[in-house]
Structure 1
Amino acid sequence: MLNTYLKQCQTTNGALVALGIVGAVLGVIAWPALAATGSTAPMNWGGMTMELLGGLALFLYGMTQMEVGLKAVAGERMKSILAKLTVNRFAGVGTGAVVTAVIQSSSVTTVLLVGFISAGLMSLPQSVGVIIGAKIGTTITGQIVAFKITKAALAMVAGGFGMLFLSKNEKIKAYGGMLMGLGLVFFGMHVMGEAMHPLRSYQPFLDLMQTMTNPLLAVLVSAVFTGIIQSSSATTAIIIVMASQGFISLDAGVPLVMGANIGTCVTALLAAIGKPREAVRCAVVHTGLACTGVLMWLPFVSVIRSAAVAMSPVYPELSGMDLLAAETPRQIANAHTFFNIANGCIFIWFTTYIARAAEWLVPDKPLEEDAMIVRTKFLQEELLTTPTLALDSVRMEVMHMGETVNAMLKGIMPAIIKGDTKALEEIRQMDDTVDILHAGILDYMAKISKQPLLEEQTRELMQLMEAVSNLENIGDIVETNLVVLGHDRVRDKIEVSEQTQQVLNGFQVAISKAVAAAVMAVAQRNERSAQVVTGMKDEINRIADSAAMHEARRLVAEEPNRILAYTLEVEIIEKQKRIYYFAKRMAKTVLPTVLQQRD
């Protein structure tokens, strides 16, 4: 039940629920606890709690709106960058930072890495660099929050609302959602700040905050808090909001943001449960870097503090709590960024060793154990909130499904012509794998369809559904038609002549080429591969006509079971033509509408 709750917290509503619960605990439980200290100052705890929770909800909803807009505008570009710009460890760090800054989730970046590693597009040492960069990318939230543009908050909400609801252009609506979300972030901060303002004069609360100057205690508290809400960005933002009221000093803020780095690893570890070894290794790297970085810098918190002060503006005209409220938010944001960049500069030189350590800690499973499990490899729940990336994972899964279909096509003709019942049944069982993958892909695409999609994404989703169904139809033809024909050949003891075998095998080679190119076209959005498939129409017709002429000549041959053999061989040719038909339909989903209509 706990695991289900934590997974729910990864969604927008789940995060609101989780932080709402934490806010209630802070407000309601702290009320009698703090009141018991004997203070006589009148405090409206109920009103403060409601304002705090309301501001928290506005803040989180604003963050979600901003992320949705960013993903819609730049999601496709981010995926492309992540796939292409990881040629070396330094490019990987930069790529991970940029992608995570947009996606606002280092866990989602890690999930993408698992897919790329599984597909052979990236090595584990390369992924270490991207994970290092992802840590840097998460600091963007703290930097945004530290600006405190509260006076323009409602103007940003109004402007974003107008763009979102009045424009018909999808990109403008996405930018409107981003602007409105950013306005809600700052307005939520303002509401939370106003709610906590009375605590400035409440000494028991100030004494409680003072205990956070103990670095080890602050790291532990922040790690636990972040582990519960599963968002280091949200924790950092709350820390900065409290600093803007003068409640948290820089001495407390530095270890608190360090602890948030550890707490967010809970998300990566949960996401790796039951996943392939690549996912577990990425989670281990994610967690190991976070914990090592904190332990390494914990004795040198003063160094981070000094660097943050040097990087931040000063307000010598202020004093006391007003000075803290003015300077500390930016200092904490800069400390967070400095901490992660400094770690990156250190860890970047050890990516190969870090990858080896992860492989040693998480060794490969025995081949027999993996072979027993049939499951999708690339469809991750964490990607659903970023539809562009989720759709891309479907394409990678199509390649996975296509590998099994291609294996069926490679083995079916030898099984039909010369194989026994056992060989034919092995081909039939391979279709069970195709059916499992097909069902998994359709279920995942149904979940994608429930997300807010741009018109282009909806069109892509429909095209992928059609392509996957065509690929499944090819598997069904092999299982329900060609395998049955093979059993007929075995039952009737039909002998296929050497010349006919050459004709059928030659046709099968062309069909297999078409199916492989169609799978490549869909998986890689490769129009050239799609045109290869559609361009094979004349070749397929020529081979089919030649095979038909051959069968007509063989019909008059004086051989036993000639009529049965002729019927069998003609049926094989017809089913091969049918397979090409579905391969061509599959390839057409990748082509522009003008090219689709030519056939």
Structure 2
Amino acid sequence: MDLTMVLFSFFGGLGLFLFGIKSMSEGLQAVAGDRLRVILEKGTKTPVRGVLTGAIVTALIQSSSGTTVLAIGLVNARLLTLRQSIGIIMGANIGTTLTAYLIGFKLEHYALPIIALGVFFLFFFKTKRINYVGQVILGFGLLFYGMDIMGDGLNPLRTSPFFIGLMSDVENNPLLGVLIGTVFTVIVQSSSATIGVLQELANQGVITYSQAVPILFGDNIGTTITAILAGIGATVIAKRAAATHLMFNLIGTAIFLPLFLMGIFPKLVILLTNYIYILIPGFEGTWNTLGIKLQIAQTHGVFNLLNTLVQLPFIGILAVIVTKLVPGEQELIIDAKPKYLEPRLLGNPSMALANASRETLRMGRMAGNAFENSKLYFANHTQQNKQLTGQFEDVVDQLENQITDYVLKVTAGKSLTSEQTDQNYRILQAIGDIERVGDHANNLVELTDYAIDSNVKFSEQANNDLMNMFTKVQEIFTMSLEVLKTDDIALSEKVLKYDDIIDDLEITLRKGHIERLSQGTCNGSHGATFLNIISNLERIGDHAVNIAKYTLLHRKD
């Protein structure tokens, strides 16, 4: 056995396989676009719907990690609750089994033509959607080509005394198999890849079915590392969602590994194969007529399906347990979903636009909260304020899209009065400025992070100047929201005059900064950070003025 060729073939094939999975997943996600987020948000009203949604989305994008990370992001943004995310995570485990089924069909001989077709779509068309389809096809072909190369590399292991001894140890000690599967998947960060390797090892006769199953359980545990990494630095509730993914697979292994050792689980798999899974494409009869690759895929599918059915009734208990395991302070609950965009009012433009105005004002308050927390983070460096800034900013982004869609539906194909047309214009303009305020709040957090990481320490005078400007900008933005609410002409004019104070303050602070630079009390790194902060603050003031102007122009007209 040439060890070098074994290693080269194995790692080269694994690299192609991983790249194929990544390319296919990214292409599918690009084709789906923002619809995936919408599907996850709307498909979680009940635990069963959450499971179905998670399974469908994962089957579409061929990545349980991608679905789980997306669910954690939505939890972090308060668009999903912990209980809703648990259903999606359970469903993701079912959806990811599709990859193993695909690998189970022997398509290695067609890999090169599939790759050629993918490249043709990718490089000979200018349409983005066709390019994404080409990326999916290319990834699909590389997946099987990588499997073929891996198979050639793994074949000699059948006669390796070391590997034969290791697999014998796995058969005698199934927990070792679970550990091997877990560690390998943690390293590769793709259960689809490690299960593919497992299928190929079995196909080459290197391992038996009974040796493969404990490793299969470990693969399911190891895949949770991606969700755990995604939870780092996120909110407590997002960390709990990531922990749930790990706990779900650990509990599943604790239940089904003993059943496997007692011979019960294999009988369940065979029973389901013979009497229920008769609709599988390529199905030829019974369990015994399936190839070893499809037998492993079937075992993977049955394990995740039964594990979900067993744990689904206990989602509430899982949420309570994970809350105890991942303690944290009671967090502010942000209601991220729109309150006033009532679809049943779309036929009544006056009422619908009035409600859209209320939602716009609510969006403005969210942006104000993001700015307030960015100010507190700059002053105190408290992580909770940093996280809240990001959460409020995420909600602001979501609301901008939802308000825009709602207003466009209100006005589409309808004859509006001049007042309604004006209100429509003001809403669409205002939400653009409000969204930019959220972006600048996020910028201020990033600048504060840079100052912390680079050990930038401002002088007492510089700190006082910055906090003074934070306060002034906060005042003008609060006034602009009041103008948006009341259409107060006098207050609108006050905001415009107040903007001059902000502009003068920025000029004064810049001069003071230049003096500190010339006196050597401030270096270039300090100076750049200082200038960027006051620049972002000044722009927030500008957006506040824009919001007030829309009312002023409306009244003057």
Q: Normalization by structure 2: what TM-score?
A: 0.63
Counterparts in 2 of 1:45-64, with a 5 A limit?
45-64=3-22
Q: Give the percent of matched residue pairs that are identical in Structure 1 and Structure 2.
A: 32
Deviations 1:566-595 (Å, cap 9, x if unpaired)? xx7872498899545544999xxxxxxxxx
Cα distance change, pair 466–53 in 1 and its aligned pair in 2 (3 A): farther
Q: Does 1:260 align with 2:219?
A: yes
Q: How many angstroms apart in 2 are the aligned matches of 1:51 and 1:474? A: 50
Match of 1:69 among 27, 40, 62: 27
Per the alignment, residue 324 of structure 2 pairs with 360
Q: How many angstroms apart in 2 are the aligned matches of 1:67 and 1:569? A: 49
Q: Residue 253 of structure 1 aligns to which amino acid in structure 2? A: A
Q: Secondary structure at the match of 2:205?
A: coil
- Compare 236-245 and 52-61 and name the one that shifted more: 52-61
Deviations 1:359-382 (Å, cap 9, x if unpaired)? 222233267xx99xxxxx9xxxxx
2:389 and 2:441 in contact (8 A); partners too: no
Per the alignment, residue 2 of structure 2 pairs with 44
Per the alignment, residue 355 of structure 2 pairs with none
1:92 and 1:129 in contact (8 A); partners too: yes
Q: How many angstroms apart in 2 are the aligned matches of 1:428 and 1:200? A: 61
Q: How many angstroms apart in 1 are the aligned matches of 2:361 and 2:194? A: 39
The Cα of 1:437 is off from its aligned counterpart by: 5.2
Cα distance change, pair 339–174 in 1 and its aligned pair in 2 (3 A): same
Q: How many angstroms apart in 2 are the aligned matches of 1:364 and 1:161? A: 49
Per the alignment, residue 418 of structure 2 pairs with none
Q: Secondary structure at the match of 2:201?
A: helix
Per the alignment, residue 250 of structure 2 pairs with 291
The Cα of 1:296 is off from its aligned counterpart by: 0.7
Cα distance change, pair 250–547 in 1 and its aligned pair in 2 (3 A): closer
Per the alignment, residue 300 of structure 1 pairs with 259
Cα distance change, pair 512–108 in 1 and its aligned pair in 2 (3 A): farther
Deviations 1:66-111 (Å, cap 9, x if unpaired)? 1111111124222111010100000000111122233444344333
Match of 1:222 among 170, 176, 181: 181
Per the alignment, residue 483 of structure 2 pairs with 510
Q: Does 1:406 align with 2:368?
A: yes
1:308 and 1:332 in contact (8 A); partners too: no
Cα distance change, pair 116–434 in 1 and its aligned pair in 2 (3 A): closer
1:65 and 1:180 in contact (8 A); partners too: yes
Cα distance change, pair 217–584 in 1 and its aligned pair in 2 (3 A): farther
Counterparts in 2 of 1:301-340, with a 5 A limit?
301=260, 302-310=263-271, 311=273, 327-340=291-304
Deviations 1:226-270 (Å, cap 9, x if unpaired)? 222222221111101111112222111221111111122233333
Cα distance change, pair 403–238 in 1 and its aligned pair in 2 (3 A): farther
Q: Normalization by structure 1: what TM-score?
A: 0.59
The Cα of 1:329 is off from its aligned counterpart by: 0.7
Q: Does 1:483 align with 2:472?
A: yes
Per the alignment, residue 113 of structure 1 pairs with 71
Q: How many angstroms apart in 2 are the aligned matches of 1:79 and 1:478? A: 38
The Cα of 1:177 is off from its aligned counterpart by: 0.8
Q: How many angstroms apart in 1 are the aligned matches of 2:139 and 2:116? A: 11
2:496 and 2:548 in contact (8 A); partners too: no
Cα distance change, pair 340–581 in 1 and its aligned pair in 2 (3 A): same
Deviations 1:369-398 (Å, cap 9, x if unpaired)? x99xxxxx9xxxxxxxxxxxxxxxxxxxx9
Cα distance change, pair 210–465 in 1 and its aligned pair in 2 (3 A): farther
Per the alignment, residue 231 of structure 1 pairs with 190
Deviations 1:411-435 (Å, cap 9, x if unpaired)? xxxxxxxxxxxxxx99997999799
Q: Compare CA radii of gyration and give the structure with the larger one.
A: 1
Q: Does 1:343 align with 2:269?
A: no
Per the alignment, residue 533 of structure 2 pairs with none
Q: Secondary structure at the match of 1:248?
A: coil
1:73 and 1:175 in contact (8 A); partners too: yes
Cα distance change, pair 505–52 in 1 and its aligned pair in 2 (3 A): closer
Per the alignment, residue 23 of structure 1 pairs with none
Deviations 1:115-145 (Å, cap 9, x if unpaired)? 4334443322222211111211222221111
Pairwise CA RMSD = 4.7
1:222 and 1:259 in contact (8 A); partners too: yes
Q: Secondary structure at the match of 1:275?
A: coil
Q: How many angstroms apart in 2 are the aligned matches of 1:486 and 1:465? A: 20
The Cα of 1:183 is off from its aligned counterpart by: 0.7
Cα distance change, pair 192–119 in 1 and its aligned pair in 2 (3 A): closer
2:483 and 2:491 in contact (8 A); partners too: no
Q: How many angstroms apart in 2 are the aligned matches of 1:50 and 1:77? A: 40
2:25 and 2:136 in contact (8 A); partners too: yes
Q: Secondary structure at the match of 2:249?
A: helix
